[in-house]
Chain A
Amino acid sequence: MTDKSEMSRQLFYPLKTTSFKDFTLIIPSVSVGNVGQLSTDLLIQSLQCEKAGFLWHPAILPVVGVDPYKVSSPELALSAEVFSSESHKLVLLQLRSSVIKKLRKAFLSDLVAWVKSSGIAQIAILTGSSNEERIDEQITSEPFRYLTNHETLLADTFRSFGWIALEQRFNFPALSKVESLAKGSDAVGQVVIPGGGFAKRLFELCSENGIPCTTLIKFCSEGDNIPDALLVVSKVDQWLKLIEKDSKGASKLVFPPSWSHLFGSPPPKQLY
Chain B
Amino acid sequence: MALFGEIVEPVSRALYIDESSDEEDSQDLSTTKIPDIKWVDEAPTSIETLLVFHGHLATDFLLKVLEGSNSKSAAHLKEKILYHGKRSLKELNIFLYNIGHGIFGCLCPAVDIANSNEVVEKLLPVLNITKRVVAIATIPAPFFKGNDPTLDLPPAFMRMLYTSTFDTKDVIAPLLETPNMVTGVPASILNWCEVFKKPGCLYVCYSDSDHLDSISGEPLVKIFSNVFEGLLESKILSFNSVGHESNSSLYM
A interface residues, Cβ below 8 angstroms from B? 1, 13, 29-31, 34, 54, 56-66, 68, 72, 74-79, 96-98, 100-102, 104-105, 172, 192-201, 222, 257-258, 260-262, 264-270
Name B176's contact: one of A13, A57, A66 (CB within 8 Å): A66
Complexed CA–CA distance, A184 and B183 (Å): 47
Q: A66 — which chain B residues lie within 8 A by C-beta?
A: 161, 175-178
With A61-B113, A261-B147, A264-B145 already in contact, the answer to whether A104 and B25 are too (CB < 8 A) is yes
11 additional contacts (CB under 8 A) given A102-B26, A193-B22: A30-B19, A58-B117, A61-B183, A64-B182, A101-B25, A102-B25, A102-B31, A195-B19, A264-B10, A265-B146, A269-B149
Quote the shortest CB–CB distance from A55 to chain B (angstroms). Answer: 8
Chain B 157-184 interface mask (CB, 8 Å, partner A; 1/0): 0000111100000000001111111111
Q: A96 — which chain B residues lie within 8 A by C-beta?
A: 181
Quote the shortest CB–CB distance from A228 to chain B (angstroms). Answer: 13
Q: A200 — which chain B residues lie within 8 A by C-beta?
A: 21-22
The stretch of B39-47, B58-66, B190-198, B243-251 in contact with A is B190-198
B124 within 8 A of A: yes
B116 within 8 A of A: yes
B20 within 8 A of A: yes
Q: B126 — which chain A residues lie within 8 A by C-beta?
A: none
How many of B's residues come within 8 Å of A, CB to CB? 56
Do B117 and A65 touch (CB < 8 A)?
no
Name A60's contact: one of B117, B182, B194 (CB within 8 Å): B117
Complexed CA–CA distance, A54 and B163 (Å): 13
B9 within 8 A of A: no
A68, closest chain B residue (CB)? B178
Do A65 and B178 touch (CB < 8 A)?
yes
Do B149 and A268 touch (CB < 8 A)?
yes
Q: A265 — which chain B residues lie within 8 A by C-beta?
A: 145-147, 149, 151
Quote the shortest CB–CB distance from A31 to chain B (angstroms). Answer: 6
Q: B162 — which chain A residues lie within 8 A by C-beta?
A: 74, 76
A193, closest chain B residue (CB)? B21
Do B183 and A63 touch (CB < 8 A)?
yes
Complexed CA–CA distance, A13 and B198 (Å): 14
Quote the shortest CB–CB distance from B137 to chain A (angstroms). Answer: 10
Do A261 and B178 touch (CB < 8 A)?
yes
Q: A197 — which chain B residues lie within 8 A by C-beta?
A: 19, 21
Complexed CA–CA distance, A77 and B162 (Å): 11
Do B191 and A78 touch (CB < 8 A)?
yes
Q: B179 — which chain A residues lie within 8 A by C-beta?
A: 65, 258, 261-262
Quote the shortest CB–CB distance from B195 to chain A (angstroms). Answer: 5
With A102-B27, A266-B149 already in contact, the answer to whether A62 and B184 are too (CB < 8 A) is yes
Name A98's contact: one of B16, B177, B188 (CB within 8 Å): B16
Complexed CA–CA distance, A65 and B182 (Å): 6
Name B21's contact: one of A56, A62, A100, A199 (CB within 8 Å): A199
Complexed CA–CA distance, A132 and B65 (Å): 55
Do B22 and A64 touch (CB < 8 A)?
no
Do B20 and A267 touch (CB < 8 A)?
no
Do A101 and B146 touch (CB < 8 A)?
no
Q: Mark out the residues of chain B between 121 and 162 whose CB falls within 8 Å of any chain A CB in the assembled complex.
A: 121, 124, 145-147, 149-151, 161-162
With A1-B121, A258-B179 already in contact, the answer to whether A13 and B196 are too (CB < 8 A) is yes
Name B121's contact: one of A58, A97, A104, A201 (CB within 8 Å): A58
Quote the shortest CB–CB distance from B22 to chain A (angstroms). Answer: 6
Do B26 and A101 touch (CB < 8 A)?
yes
Name A62's contact: one of B177, B178, B180, B188 (CB within 8 Å): B188
Q: B161 — which chain A residues lie within 8 A by C-beta?
A: 64-66, 76
